[in-house]
A and B are shown apart, each in its own frame.
Chain A
Amino acid sequence: MKHLKATTFLIAAALAAPLAAQEAGGRLDIVVQPEPPGLMLGLVQNGPTQLVAGDIYEGLLIYNTDLEPQPGLAESWEISEDGLTYTFKLHEGVKWHDGEDFTADDVVFSADVFLRETHARLRASLAYVESVTALDPLTVEFKLKEPFGPFISVFEAATMPMIPKHIYEGTDFATNEMNATPIGTGPFKFDEWVKGSYIHLVKNEEYYIDGLPYLDEVYYRVIPDAASRAVAFETGEVDVLPGGSVENWDVPRLTEMEGVCSTGEGWEFFAPHAWMWLNNREGPTSNKLFRQAVMYAMNREFMKDVVWNGFGNVPTGPISSKTNFYSDDVTHYDYNPDKAKELLAEMGYDGEPVRILPLPYGETWQRWAEAVRQNLTEVGINVEIDSADVAGWNEKTSQWDYDMAFTYLYQYGDPALGVSRNYTADRIQKGSPWNNVEGYENPELDEKWFAAATMVSPEERQAAYEEIQKEIVDDVPVAWMLELEFPTIYRCNVKDLVTTGIGVNDGPRNAWIEK
């Protein structure tokens, strides 16, 4: 017997209109950085692709800034009490951009065929899925092998984008010619991509929600130099600077301009969490005392203020304060160089040099590494900054050739989706920089991670994760640096740009321009 678990939302929360009446028409210029490698969201899911393709492709659900699921392509959904059956009722009259109907078969194809092959992150969640069945053209049923708490969070556009079956079935997905002209169900259609310059999307007149989108067209502008991007915003060439597209130092200057607004919202679903992998396998970093010393040696508040210009939060542990099941009942590593020196003396640190590998994502990250080096040098640790470009960074981290390496990862709303992958021993896999790269092994804790993922009751899960956090923070498998906050800067006449947990990625759907 099925039981109505979640409330059915009949009206999209986004449509809860503010006082002013929305005005249709207009064009939005949004910076995209770097240029995406491709727009086929089922094949590529890096940040820039998500940003652009989030307007073209859609998922079954949308998540608000509190990470609660909202109707997307699915009008309503039910979860059985045992947490094993998820049934989605699809929106009626949805059409692909080429005019074909969107049906339950497309959902089955996307989840069970296409994404199982191409989407590594989703694949981990799909491992829990027993079957995906189209009950009728507008109803889909996911059956799980065992309960998987975070399963309701995997229906976001970039996590489980809907792929048109009629285009991809039976083809080689990676080389399908249609990848260049993506077909989705989203509010905007792909029009043109001038490489190195811009991507042009136009309004989907057939969009299944009447009146949406308001905008006529969206330009995603490729401007490779951060300073130029700032200039582009200042001169009015672009209207929106998504988080991270200008350096933090520029943010106050730009937001102080007249008619410019900014918001820190729209990143809740990702909750980007930055840390340094400390190589648990060898060298000084394999010693827990050393790792703790590193934590005490760093003035993370200072770094946040200076390097990140005050944006973000200093984290207490592996789970972001924005993610579900966060707890701050853990050991706090406040700046304490003396304590760091004591710990170093206790372990008998002999001055063996350690290398820091910064993340090659621009000046901020470089400065951050320099600040860390300075802090560590001050407590007597010999530090050298290693350098590598994006490819080199990937190589070094995935081949474990580092002592300390900066990184940040999205948490996708749930520790089981975005956090545990970095700490459990089964995810120690050479060759990928997206798992337990630090080589932390704690079998006892692994059990707790696994158990917490398959619990059904949120209260149980909360308790389990609190325990995990308390324990792991003492071990310092990695040095948690910052809960990143990427303010989105935009002109104030652009309204309703950030209304969901993924922010600008699907922002143009609801956005409108006040004339």
Chain B
Amino acid sequence: MTALIATLSRVVKAAATLLAIAVLNFFLLHAAPGDPAVVLAGEAGAADEQMIEQLRERFGLDQPFYVQLGKYVGGIVQGDLGYSFRQGAPVIDLIAERLPATLLLTLTAFVISLSCGIALGVAAAARVGKVSDSLLTTLALLFYATPLYWLALMAVLVFSVWLGWLPGFGYETVGSAYSGFARALDILKHLILPALTLGLFFMAVYMRMTRASMLEVSTADFVKTAKAKGLSGPVIRRRHILRNAILPVVTLAGLQAGQLVGGAVLTETVFAWPGIGRLMFESLAARDYNTILGVFLVSAAMVILFNIVTDIVYRIVDPRIGARS
């Protein structure tokens, strides 16, 4: 019940936050130099006054700023993200078309980074001070310090150009007519490199954090209690240390999972992944306001969604939370 109420109040707050984000970004984007009508006209390869005026009228850019804002916000409240004049389609359709790819990529990267990060963190913590621990932490630090896009470039070079093991870009083999399992396998092959490059950085983050957290928790009194009970090292690590140590990792991961959605621009660009990060980046250059705003809203909604999920997970893992609030 309390959890339900807390979630409900979060949803209300989230809606307010989203609206505020929409307004802020609306201001930001309209402050940007570059007129979408001129850009679109420019793309036509030629433009004259008449054409630009037509376009401005069609986009509603000839109206006063506050009218545009009002219309946009009004639309959002009704779940309408507006129309992309550049792409000639409703923004919601454009995003719906791209979102699955982004979600697939980011969720895979997230799951890989979180599971491997935690596993490696636990392993390192269990071997603290030994050579294998130093090796793991150094490796993590290295991944942490390596620019994502650079890693991506190198990965493509090695795995798809030199070795030819994996496709270097794209979402699936175009025109392959694969279906069912074969198609899933094909997508999986395409997914490996981008998901890994996107995931490695975060894996390093989670690993370092898990390790630190494990070490910290392992000095807790209840761990001593567990030892005094005669539990074996692995059991203590799994049942007592890990469960407690994982809480801060879950919090951070929840915060970042949402950010991943909007933060995959680089990976999506390098790997030609047809996701919303790229959609936003490409729309930005065209000043396709509605699309950019739409992507912002959707990714912010993802952030909020993930936070709520994290919260629920947290409540399940930690009985104290629900009781306290």
Contacts and interface: CB of A to CB of B under 8 A. Distances in A.
Q: Do A and B contact each other directly (Cβ–Cβ < 8 Å)?
A: yes
Interface of A: 27, 29, 34-35, 37-38, 43-47, 118-121, 123-124, 158, 174-175, 179-180, 194-198, 200, 217, 219, 221-225, 227-228, 231-232, 234-235, 237, 360, 388-392, 394-396, 398, 410, 429, 431-435
A43 B85 CA distance: 12
A35 B285 CA distance: 13
Given A224-B269, A235-B168, A389-B34, A37 B287 contact: no
Contact of A396 (B33, B169, B285): B33
Contacts of B167: 235, 237
Given A390-B39, A390-B286, A197 B171 contact: yes
B272 A225 contact: yes
B269 A34 contact: no
A147 to B, nearest CB: 23
B170 interface: yes
Given A37-B88, A223-B169, A235-B160, A432 B286 contact: no
A394 B160 contact: no
A228 B38 contact: no
A197 B38 contact: no
Given A44-B43, A195-B98, A389-B285, A223 B170 contact: yes
A227 B160 CA distance: 13
10 contacts: A120-B46, A200-B174, A223-B169, A231-B156, A231-B161, A231-B168, A360-B285, A391-B35, A395-B34, A396-B33
A392 B168 contact: no
Contacts of B174: 29, 197-198, 200, 219, 221, 237
Given A121-B46, A391-B32, 11 more contacts: A45-B46, A46-B45, A123-B50, A196-B278, A197-B174, A219-B175, A234-B161, A237-B174, A390-B39, A395-B35, A433-B42
Contacts of A118: 51
B272 A391 contact: no
Contacts of B33: 388, 391-392, 395-396
A197 B170 contact: yes
Interface of B: 32-36, 38-52, 58, 86-89, 94, 97-98, 101, 153, 156, 160-161, 164, 167-171, 174-175, 269-275, 278-279, 282, 284-287
Q: Closest 8 interchain pairs by CB?
A: A196-B274, A391-B34, A121-B46, A46-B43, A391-B287, A432-B47, A395-B34, A390-B285
Contact of B48 (A174, A225, A410, A429): A429
Contacts of B34: 388-392, 394-395
Nearest to B36: A391
Nearest to A191: B175
A135 to B, nearest CB: 30
A387 B53 CA distance: 27
B41 A120 contact: yes
Contact of B175 (A38, A217, A235, A429): A217
B44 A431 contact: no
A434 B45 contact: yes
Given A29-B174, A231-B169, A432-B48, A37 B87 contact: yes
Contacts of B35: 391, 394-395
Contact of A228 (B40, B168, B287): B168
Contacts of B32: 391-392
B286 A222 contact: no
Contacts of A175: 88
Nearest to A232: B169
Given A195-B94, A228-B168, A432-B49, A179 B88 contact: yes
Contacts of B86: 37
Contacts of A232: 168-169
